[in-house]
């Protein structure tokens, strides 16, 4: 079968290649998926560029991609919840990385039936971003009337998080660039902050929650704008004790600067190292089918142009998700 593979660390164009590899064989607990669509995510090109090689030990060449939507073509002997022909979506675990391929095998426990009212491309846009947003916001107990700032509202995680937070009755502030203002407003945010022309710290303050999707100084600045006893939830900032354990970081201690800010504000700080979760995928499916949340896609690339998809994503200009479609590439699907 054909697959996109990481052949070395470095420049995206030089490091990703279309390769012919063996079709996966499945165990009793796994299913084999004929891939219809996969999503490109920032973690993918960061892996290619070598930024995560100390954390994720890969044997190169390696597949790329975590999000998948497709059709079940084979099931293991112990699989009960799926049958051949089912349309599914998933964010596969690390050991199954490689969804930009003709076929992918995965444990059935991390798979769900895809939303019936959207395409494979739109379904593929949902797992990683949706699970990340849900897990990050559940960790800080998001609830009705909470005032929350969600950074980078035009990104994949941000655009899902805005809609999810609104569905929970929160009052949502978000940041974006001037060119994305109208698009992000349409997602339902109560106040969209043009970070190129406004200081978000002057517009959004005394908040219950800050959702940090940017890291660096934004993580620390979150404590300036939450109220006493507020909550900061991050997917980019330093790990907390729980996520450090999930990431295999032994004897980890929170950075002194961050620990001091938490203490001074009597605040709660959570970091999310997203985990595949079929039950939450089912929740996403229900929200898509009742139109509480709508998928946000910028561009769809063919399998043959997958490398271009990652190059575009790395520019940081994507408005929503970047999708790689295989639906018309391989006749056997």
Does residue 101 surpass a pLDDT of 50? yes
**Do 139 and 119 have their domain in common?**
no
Tens-place pLDDT, residues 149-186: 999 999 999 999 999 999 999 999 999 999 999 999 99
Residue 25 domain boundaries = 2-126+295-325
Which letter does DSSP use for residue 314 in this model?
T
Has residue 172 been placed in a domain? yes
Of 214 and 328, more confident: 214
Domain count, the chain: 2
Which residues, in sequence order, are CB contacts of 328 under 8 Å at separation 6+?
Answer: 302
Residue 212 has pLDDT above 90, yes or no: yes
Question: Which long-range contacts does 278-283 make (Cβ < 8 Å, 24+ apart)?
Answer: 278/90, 278/109, 278/110, 278/111, 278/112, 280/130, 280/131, 280/134, 280/135, 281/89, 281/90, 281/91, 281/111, 281/112, 281/127, 281/130, 281/131, 282/112, 282/113, 283/134
pLDDT tens profile 224-278:
999 999 999 999 999 999 999 888 888 899 999 999 999 999 999 999 999 999 9
Which tens digit of pLDDT belongs to each residue from 104-162? 999 999 999 999 999 999 999 999 999 999 999 999 999 999 999 999 999 999 999 99
Is position 281 within any domain?
no
Alpha-carbon span 326 to 266, nearest angstrom: 49
Asked if residue 333 has pLDDT above 50, the reply is no
- pLDDT above 50 for 188: yes
The CATH number for 210's domain is: 3.40.50.720
> Both 55 and 142 in a single domain?
no
């Amino acid at each position: 079968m054909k697959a996109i593979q990481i052949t070395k660390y470095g420049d995206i164009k030089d490091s990703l290649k279309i390769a012919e590899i063996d079709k996966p064989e499945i165990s009793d607990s796994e299913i084999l998926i004929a891939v219809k669509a996969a999503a490109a995510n920032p973690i993918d090109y960061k892996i290619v560029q070598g930024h995560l090689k100390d954390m994720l030990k890969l044997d190169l060449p390696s597949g790329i991609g975590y999000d998948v939507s497709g059709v079940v073509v084979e099931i293991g002997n112990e699989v009960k919840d799926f049958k051949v022909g089912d349309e599914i979506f998933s964010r596969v675990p690390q050991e199954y990385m490689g969804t930009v391929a003709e076929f992918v095998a995965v444990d059935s426990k991390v798979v769900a039936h895809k939303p019936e009212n959207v395409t494979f491309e739109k379904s593929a846009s949902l797992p990683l971003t949706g699970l990340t947003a849900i897990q990050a916001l559940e960790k800080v107990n998001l609830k009705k009337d909470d005032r929350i700032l969600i950074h980078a509202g035009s990104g994949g995680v941000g655009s899902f998080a805005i809609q999810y937070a609104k569905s929970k009755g929160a009052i949502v502030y978000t940041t974006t660039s001037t060119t994305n203002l109208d698009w992000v407003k349409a997602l339902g945010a109560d106040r969209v902050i043009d970070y190129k022309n406004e200081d978000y710290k002057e517009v959004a303050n005394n908040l219950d929650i800050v959702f940090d999707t940017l890291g660096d100084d934004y993580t620390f600045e979150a404590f300036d704008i939450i109220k006493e006893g507020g909550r900061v939830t991050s997917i980019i900032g330093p790990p907390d004790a729980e996520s450090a354990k999930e990431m295999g970081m032994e004897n980890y201690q929170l950075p002194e600067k961050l620990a001091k800010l938490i203490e001074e504000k009597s605040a709660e700080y959570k970091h999310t190292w997203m985990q595949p979760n079929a039950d939450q995928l089912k929740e996403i499916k229900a929200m898509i089918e009742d139109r509480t949340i709508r998928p946000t896609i910028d561009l769809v690339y063919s399998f043959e142009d997958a490398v271009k998809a990652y190059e575009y994503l790395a520019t940081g200009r994507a408005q929503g998700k970047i999708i790689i479609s295989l639906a018309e590439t391989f006749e056997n699907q």
